[in-house]
Amino acid sequence: MFAFKLCDGITVTALWKISLSSMRFKGRNQSLYKSVPRAILSFLFLCGVGLRVEASDNVCGWTPGKISIKYTWQKSLVSREQFQIDLCTRTCSNGNIRNYDLSSCPEIRCFDCMCERPKCESYGTCCPNDPRHPSLETTTAVASRVQHDGSQTPGRMDTPVLKCEASGTSSGYLYIQSCPRAYNDSQTRRLCEEEYKPEEKPDLTLDQFARVSDSVLEAVYYNKYCALCNGALQPVQWEVKVDCDHFLAVYTATTFDQLLTLSLQPESSCKVKQLPLVKHLTPCNRTWFR
């Protein structure tokens, strides 16, 4: 067995019996990965983004030799879309998910991209269009309809910050907690992107806390301010329900905002739940999100 390092973060290990020139990649990107040397050139190109490659003695997408490539995705350096295009098989064809070869390399864990528009456009999670079956839909992200100060239309051309909220099980629902880079109202941005910590924020409001759904774009936003800066067309604020075993920690509240703030304190006996009024939550795997 031998090993060699292509660049920082990229290492390839292979069995000495393998004939590099005889290997072929089994997958969607056959034109890109025709042979191991060709793949190595691709890895060299990716040195700048820190993709780590390791090999073992399992067969995974290469034949006839015994080699396996393990990819480690660095979220901050390689986008979900690029990872999906390079390594995964899910594509969109006229609104439907199409898989090229489910057996090519089951060890690669791929992001669960979607084809339901406009929902996936709002989240920036659309699968790439199938090059063999051109789609009738647009491949660009949906543009925000917000008119800010009557002079600017901030577009959703950058990937939003997505988070996965637990819903009592291992899975959760997806929501957006960021404003487009072009949006220049700093106060709205702060109220959207700021994390709430009960012990540090005694003046929480319902508008800051409650999730908001857009019944047109079918997206969920962290709060009213995230919906505002992303141009939600028909924002619907979720219902917030407070249940308390006793009221010792909250009896001084005179408004719902005060009740909400006191109920979220660690010493409170209250449980706060958010209930969506529009039923179009997108399930998510928490592995992929912060």
Which amino acid is located at 201 in the chain? K
The pLDDT of residue 271: 92
The pLDDT of residue 275: 92
Extents of the domains making up the chain: 1-78, 83-139, 162-288
Which amino acid is located at 134 in the chain? P
Query: Is the CB of residue 161 less than 8 Å from the CB of residue 178?
Result: yes
What does the alpha-carbon distance between residue 84 and residue 114 come to, in Å, rounded to a whole number?
Answer: 11
The pLDDT of residue 94: 72
Q: Report the chain's C-alpha Rg in angstroms.
A: 24
What does the alpha-carbon distance between residue 48 and residue 51 come to, in Å, rounded to a whole number?
Answer: 8
**What is the value of pTM for the model shown?**
0.62
What DSSP element (H or E) covers 200?
none
What residues contact 86, with CB distance under 8 A and at least 6 apart? 29, 32
The pLDDT of residue 108: 61
What does the alpha-carbon distance between residue 136 and residue 117 come to, in Å, rounded to a whole number?
Answer: 12
Q: Tens of pLDDT along the chain (290 residues)?
A: 434 333 333 333 333 333 333 333 334 444 433 333 334 333 333 333 333 333 333 334 444 454 555 566 677 777 666 666 667 777 787 767 766 654 455 556 666 788 888 788 888 888 877 655 544 443 333 323 223 333 333 334 467 888 988 755 556 889 999 999 999 999 999 999 998 877 677 788 999 999 999 988 889 999 999 999 999 999 999 999 999 999 888 989 999 999 999 999 888 999 999 999 887 888 887 777 65
The pLDDT of residue 114: 81
Q: Which residue's entry shows tokens 């009960």?
A: 198
